[in-house]
Structure formats: structure tokens, C-alpha cells
Amino acid sequence: MRTKRTILPVVVGLLATLLAPGTATAAPNLSCREVGGADQKDPALVAMPNGSVEHYKTGSGSNVVRFEIDPRTSALNNLQNLGGFARSEPVATSWGAGHSAVAVRGGDEALYVMQFDNGASTGWQNLGGVLTWNPELVSTRPGHLIAFYRGTNKQLWYLEYVNGVWGPHTSLGGVLTSSPIAVSTGPGHVGVFTRGQANDLYYVERIGSTWSGWVGLGGRFAVDPVAVKRGPGIDVFVRGLDSKVYGISYNGSSWGSYYPLGAPPNGAVSEPGAAVTSSGELVAFVRGGEDRTGSRPIWRNSSFDGGATWSGWIVVDQIQAFTSANNPEATANAFGGWTVASTNLPPGAQFGLFRTCSFVP
């Protein structure tokens, strides 16, 4: 393990558009805006109790940028350049009012975390480790964080923040072929999902202080899964090897079977995103493969009966720019709706426009 140190901010010249306020567009119950640019990495979204949705993206110098969006109007607030150097997409979480945390894989492959508490920042903390994919960050209760990552041996590793102190790096074994994706259904519980060696879904969970063994859920899929909490249960979505989206649900006591959600025209070309809203909507997002006059829109598929029936694929935002295949990242917002965001790259480009859309019923 590397010696802990404070990450040095990377001095980068941000493009003027990166910090530009952008232009909002309006539609009934849907508001969208562009917020400068971002590189190829996916963003992270955190819904805050005060109603804002924190966004984290990486800039042209792989620095991390943080800002807030009001889902009702797409108003932009508190834009900050956090510096650093991210070799992974940022991941973020919150344990309650006034608190949020973001983590990245740094330029030296170590895990870096920054926390915010009522406006005060810890700065980047080097927590060591050697990461080989995107990290994951989750909170199960106030004052508590768990960071997960894939190590050099492809095993799942974690470390825990309790009472203001980070604990040791501990291996949970396994052979990961995707990022770890974590979700908590409540205090004392955390589940971690990943892709196995046969492109199938595996998970491991902790209840109280006891970790289970690895459990295989079958399936065959590409790229990362996505998992969301719904009541005492969990919904997981994957993009199958046939470029269609599939779901599998845990009802709090047992897992169901995979069910198909199909795909937008010309199939799904991204990882899925997902959210569960307080108004009862379970919604999956994906980038479609159809080139609509130079753009590949983000699509959604919604269920209001726990996944029994679905709306079919509906375009969220026709103005997603260029033929980008970048992944949509989503979260439920505090107003009963959802927020989804992505970077949109021109063909062959390393930097493109960042766009976020929020639906409020």
C-alpha cells in the first residue's frame, strides 16, 4: 500500500466552455441544459436532501468539476473546479443533509476521496491501494462510507470510513471483469454487483457485520451493470450481448428471473442507467444506436408497478449532441422525478458537451 499523502492539484487550463453557465431549454415537466464540456469519462450524480442534484464530471485535464443543478428549472449553482487528476470516472454519494463525498482513481492508481460537510471540504485524501477500474462509494448511514475497487488481482477490495477514520484495505475475493456497483437498502446492509469471468452477474452482500459468499445470478452481459434500491429490494439492469436491456429484481427475500426490456431502435450502445423515484417510477435509461441526423438520443423505459409492465422506450432528450455512445448516469431527485446526464462526444473526439436533464412530475 502506498503511503498516504494529499493529492496535488493538477494545474490545468480549463476551456472557457467548461466553466460557462450554458443555456437551459424547457419542455413540459422536463428541463435540460448544457454545462460546458467534459472528457470521455462518465459523470456522477447525487440527489441532495435540499433538493439540488450534485454533478461531478472530469474536464479536459482530467480534473474533477463539481456543480449543483435545481431539477425544477435546471438552474446552475456552486460550480467548482476541484482539481486532482482522475484516471477513472468520479463516483459520489451522500449520507444526509449538508454532506457529500466523491472518489476517483488517481494518476498513481491509488484511491482518492474528497468529502464536503456544509460547504467545508477535506481536500483530496490519498487512501492508497492499486485500482484497476472505476471505484465505487456508498453510505449506509450518517457518518459512514464504504469504498470499493478492483485490485491488481481482479479481486474486490473495500475500506470503510467510521467515526472520522478510514480503516484498512480488505479483500472480498472474486474475479471482477467490470466495475463494482454498490447499493444499500438501509442501515447495516450493502450489496455489491459485478460481472464475472463468463460475462455473468455476481453479487456479495453484508448484513450487519457478516459478509456472504459470492452468489451467481447468471445472465450474459457487456460493460457495467447498474443497481438501484426499491423499498427493501434491489433492481439490477444490464445490457445483454445482443444489445438489449434486461432486468432482474430482488424483493427483499428472493431473486426473480431476468426479464427483457428490449432496446431503442438499432439497439443499446451504452451501459444502462436507472433510478427509483418517490412517485413510484422505476426507470431505466440507455443510449440508443439509431443515428438521428447526427445524434444518438438518450431513451428511457418506465414502470409504475414494480417492473411488471413497462412503457416502452421513449426519447428523453432529442438534443443530445453528436453520435456519442457515452453512458447516461441517473438518480432520483427530491421532487418525485429523475435526473439523467451524459457527455456527448463528436466522432473521434476526446472532449465534448455535457448535458443534464431533469423530470419533475
* pLDDT at res. 4: 33
Q: Is the pLDDT of residue 280 over 60?
A: yes
pLDDT band at 20 (very low <50, low <70, confident <90, very high): very low
Task: Please say whether the beta carbons of 61 and 10 come within 8 A.
Answer: yes
Q: Is the pLDDT of residue 23 over 50?
A: no
Q: Is the pLDDT of residue 326 over 70?
A: yes
Q: Is the pLDDT of residue 15 over 50?
A: no
Task: Please say whether the beta carbons of 124 and 114 come within 8 A.
Answer: yes
Q: Residue ranges per domain, the chain?
A: 31-359
d(CA 222, CA 244) in angstroms, rounded, equals 10
Least confident of 105-109, 118-122, 227-231: 118-122
Between 163 and 92, the more confident residue is 92
3-state secondary structure of 16: helix
The amino acid occupying position 73 is T
d(CA 331, CA 277) in angstroms, rounded, equals 8
pLDDT band at 292 (very low <50, low <70, confident <90, very high): low
pLDDT band at 247 (very low <50, low <70, confident <90, very high): very high
pTM of the model: 0.90
pLDDT band at 12 (very low <50, low <70, confident <90, very high): very low
Can you name the CATH fold of 31-359? Neuraminidase (2.120.10)
> What is the rounded radius of gyration, in angstroms, for the C-alpha atoms of the chain?
19
* pLDDT at res. 319: 60
Mean pLDDT to the nearest integer, 331-354 = 87
What are the start-end ranges of the H helices in 163-308? none
Q: Nearest CA to 65 among 357, 360, 311, 351? A: 351
275-279-282 Cα angle (round to 5): 30
Q: Is the pLDDT of residue 320 over 80?
A: no
